[in-house]
Amino acid sequence: MSESKLQQEIFNWYQNNYCLKLHNPRGIIFSIPNGGTRNKLEAIAMKATGLLAGASDLIVITPKGKLMFVELKTDTGLQSDKQKNFQNRVSDLGFEYHLIRSIEEFKLLIL
């Protein structure tokens, strides 16, 4: 399974179980658009407005008030040096950072 497909499954599962209007309080999950290809001008503009290389794929705020940074990888995927640096910065600030490789692993984290 690709990282993109995994991210879609996780987003949809969390959204449907914790973020609907009927949930009280409602959780939040959102992505950080660090991937993809861009032309040079677009890349410069994104960096100037806060794009951070290595930032986690998802930010999750649970209804219980937990803030988590979630990086998604395939079974064989490895973090880049920039992703490891971001993980260290998040952890040094006292926040949770999780490297997730399956929807089952994500569900265990949330449940």
Show pLDDT as tens, one digit a residue, over the chain (111 residues): 899 999 999 999 999 999 999 999 999 999 988 766 678 888 788 788 888 889 999 999 999 999 999 999 999 999 999 999 999 999 999 999 999 999 999 999 998
| Separation of alpha carbons 97 and 77, rounded Å | 17
The residues, ordered by sequence, that sit 6+ positions from 81 with a Cβ below 8 Å of its Cβ are 54
- Of 76, 66, 83, 68, the C-alpha closest to 101 is 76
CA dist 63 → 14, 15, 26, 28 (Å): 11, 12, 6, 8
Residue-number span of the structural domain to which 98 is assigned: 3-110
Quick one: tokens of 107? 């569900």
* Cα atoms in the Cβ-side hemisphere of radius 13 Å centred on 84: 4
- The CATH number given to whatever domain includes residue 85 is 3.40.1350.10
Number of structural domains the chain divides into? 1
